[in-house]
Protein backbone atom coordinates (compact mmCIF):
# COMPACT_ATOMS: atom_id res chain seq x y z
CA UNK A 1 0.00 0.00 0.00
CA UNK A 2 2.88 2.36 0.81
CA UNK A 3 4.42 1.79 -2.63
CA UNK A 4 1.11 2.65 -4.29
CA UNK A 5 0.84 5.87 -2.28
CA UNK A 6 4.42 6.79 -3.20
CA UNK A 7 3.75 6.07 -6.88
CA UNK A 8 0.62 8.23 -6.88
CA UNK A 9 2.46 11.10 -5.18
CA UNK A 10 5.27 10.91 -7.75
CA UNK A 11 2.80 10.67 -10.63
CA UNK A 12 1.03 13.83 -9.51
CA UNK A 13 4.24 15.71 -8.70
CA UNK A 14 6.12 14.89 -11.91
CA UNK A 15 3.33 14.38 -14.49
CA UNK A 16 -0.08 15.75 -13.54
CA UNK A 17 0.86 19.09 -11.94
CA UNK A 18 3.37 20.15 -14.65
CA UNK A 19 0.89 19.16 -17.37
CA UNK A 20 -1.87 21.12 -15.64
CA UNK A 21 0.36 24.18 -15.31
CA UNK A 22 1.31 23.92 -18.98
CA UNK A 23 -2.28 23.55 -20.14
CA UNK A 24 -3.58 26.41 -18.01
CA UNK A 25 -0.99 28.98 -19.15
CA UNK A 26 -2.38 31.82 -21.20
CA UNK A 27 -1.34 32.03 -24.84
CA UNK A 28 1.39 34.45 -25.91
CA UNK A 29 -1.11 36.49 -27.96
CA UNK A 30 -2.97 37.33 -24.74
CA UNK A 31 0.21 38.45 -23.02
CA UNK A 32 1.66 40.75 -25.70
CA UNK A 33 0.62 43.95 -23.93
CA UNK A 34 1.45 42.77 -20.39
CA UNK A 35 4.23 44.00 -18.14
CA UNK A 36 7.46 41.93 -18.58
CA UNK A 37 7.58 41.18 -14.84
CA UNK A 38 4.22 39.43 -15.11
CA UNK A 39 5.49 37.43 -18.08
CA UNK A 40 8.39 36.21 -15.95
CA UNK A 41 5.95 35.05 -13.25
CA UNK A 42 3.65 33.33 -15.76
CA UNK A 43 6.41 31.50 -17.62
CA UNK A 44 8.45 30.13 -14.74
CA UNK A 45 9.09 26.40 -14.57
CA UNK A 46 7.37 24.09 -12.11
CA UNK A 47 9.59 22.95 -9.26
CA UNK A 48 8.38 19.54 -8.02
CA UNK A 49 7.26 19.74 -4.41
CA UNK A 50 8.94 16.47 -3.44
CA UNK A 51 12.35 17.68 -4.65
CA UNK A 52 12.35 20.72 -2.39
CA UNK A 53 14.57 20.18 0.62
CA UNK A 54 17.15 18.20 -1.34
CA UNK A 55 14.84 15.29 -2.13
CA UNK A 56 14.57 14.20 1.49
CA UNK A 57 11.02 13.03 0.79
CA UNK A 58 12.30 10.44 -1.72
CA UNK A 59 15.09 9.33 0.61
CA UNK A 60 12.61 8.82 3.44
CA UNK A 61 10.15 6.87 1.30
CA UNK A 62 13.03 4.81 -0.09
CA UNK A 63 14.12 3.92 3.43
CA UNK A 64 10.57 3.00 4.43
CA UNK A 65 10.00 0.86 1.35
CA UNK A 66 13.39 -0.85 1.73
CA UNK A 67 12.74 -1.59 5.39
CA UNK A 68 9.32 -3.04 4.68
CA UNK A 69 10.69 -5.15 1.81
CA UNK A 70 13.51 -6.53 3.97
CA UNK A 71 11.08 -7.20 6.80
CA UNK A 72 8.71 -9.02 4.44
CA UNK A 73 11.52 -11.25 3.08
CA UNK A 74 12.90 -12.06 6.52
CA UNK A 75 9.44 -12.89 7.91
CA UNK A 76 8.78 -15.31 5.03
CA UNK A 77 12.03 -17.22 5.65
CA UNK A 78 11.48 -17.73 9.36
Count of domains observed in the chain: 1
Domain residues for 38?
2-77
DSSP 12: I
The angle at the Cα of 18, spanning 51 to 43, to the nearest 5 degrees, equals: 100
pLDDT tens digits, residue range 11-70?
999 999 999 888 877 666 666 667 777 666 667 778 899 999 889 999 999 999 999 888
How far is residue 24's CA from residue 46's CA, in Å, rounded to a whole number? 13
- pTM for the full model? 0.71
Q: Any idea what DSSP says for residue 44?
A: P
Contact (CB, 8 A) for 60 and 31 = no
How far apart are alpha carbons 72 and 66 in whole angstroms? 10
Amino acid sequence: MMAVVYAVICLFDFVVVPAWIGIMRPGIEVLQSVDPQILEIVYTQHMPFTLQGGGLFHLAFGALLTGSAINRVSSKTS
